[in-house]
Amino acid sequence: MEVVGYQQDASCMWMALSALGLEQGQVVGLAQLYWRGGKLSQVIEAQAVALPQHRFSRNPQPSAALLAAVRRGKERIGQFHVVELGPHQPGNAALLSTRGNIPFKGARPGDFPSAVQFLPHLGVAAILTKHALLFLADVETAQVIHRVHLVWDILFATVLDDDKHHSLLGVCRSGKVLSISICPYTLCQYLARRPASLYLSQRVLQLVGQVS
């Protein structure tokens, strides 16, 4: 395995070390999760992880969350896991754990999740892949709500754009630098046309301050 990333939450109590390796010609990923509070460690299967702070809609207090994306071999469906991490905050509901599917149907051979970035002002995660697919997923239900192919290139590094609330910066193997922006109004319009996403669209509207 080759170590490719290190994450820690805002409290510096949770850490995650990510590594990739090859197994029968397919990229596999492992992440070692560590909690300083109890000196506990666990290894999970994931190619990309993030450890953001988020106040789940049912909670008065924010908490740390593990966001993990994985694709096993040539499977057409990957998995996106959202796990609310402890310790439990007074007044909050029971710790949440949920997962959703990442549709890799039609993706280029060997594609896999390479990064997970959290967009706190929208309450969504941006899951990016080696071959520049972008999946937007709700962090409360782990459901993917949109998919787009950004560019025909290898996307090997992404960061949040600190100057813009809803934007990412990415670097491709060819040297291209991408600026990826998600328009909150357009996202809300898109969600409003999907009856199954009514709860999510209302929550996104609240996060961007368009409703009380």
Q: Please give the distance of CA 20 from its chain centroid, rounded to a whole number.
A: 17
| Domains located in the chain, CATH noted | 2-182 (2.130.10.110)
Q: Report yes or no: 10 and 65 within 8 Å, Cβ to Cβ.
A: no
Question: Model's pTM, two decimal places?
Answer: 0.90
Q: Is the model more confident about 127 or about 76?
A: 127
Residue range 68-79: mean pLDDT, rounded: 92
- Specify the pLDDT at position 212: 36
**Tens-digit pLDDT profile for residues 151-180:** 999 998 999 887 777 789 999 999 999 999
Handedness of CA 182, 184, 187, 189 (dihedral sign): negative
Considering only 4-8, 51-55, 94-98, 204-208, which range has the smallest mean pLDDT?
204-208
